[in-house]
Structure 1
């Protein structure tokens, strides 16, 4: 059974994925900021941005969570493939 998260994200919030990736990069550059807090921070920021820009309902919150999950997954996919092939 294949589940593709991109099937559940609406077109209007695809911009949120690269924004969250940049925010994750900025959080990574902060000295003494624990790495384990980055995904939690991205989920919280994704919830807020989804709620504010997509819709002030549970749909906006869900879209924010899905976009944060996609951003984290995309980053980890790139990171793991670079480590594997280099």
Structure 2
């Protein structure tokens, strides 16, 4: 498993690549792997002030940016929903 969940350097980037492959090639063989790994994303997060934030790759900050934070993960989840991989 990657050390972080970021879109640029972590698990979300791997999931994003597989989502693009599944969409372009109309291949569903990785759908269960994608769904399983999306379900592990909360383990990379931290709850603070009633918000769930992603710990960035340096493990020093909680982040909401697209590349290393929550916004990138939200994008991945929405894309998986659009492709009907998750509900």
Higher strand share: 2
Higher helix share: 1
Structure 2 length as normaliser, TM-score? 0.36
Structure 1 length as normaliser, TM-score? 0.36
Answer with 1 or 2: which has the greater Rg: 1
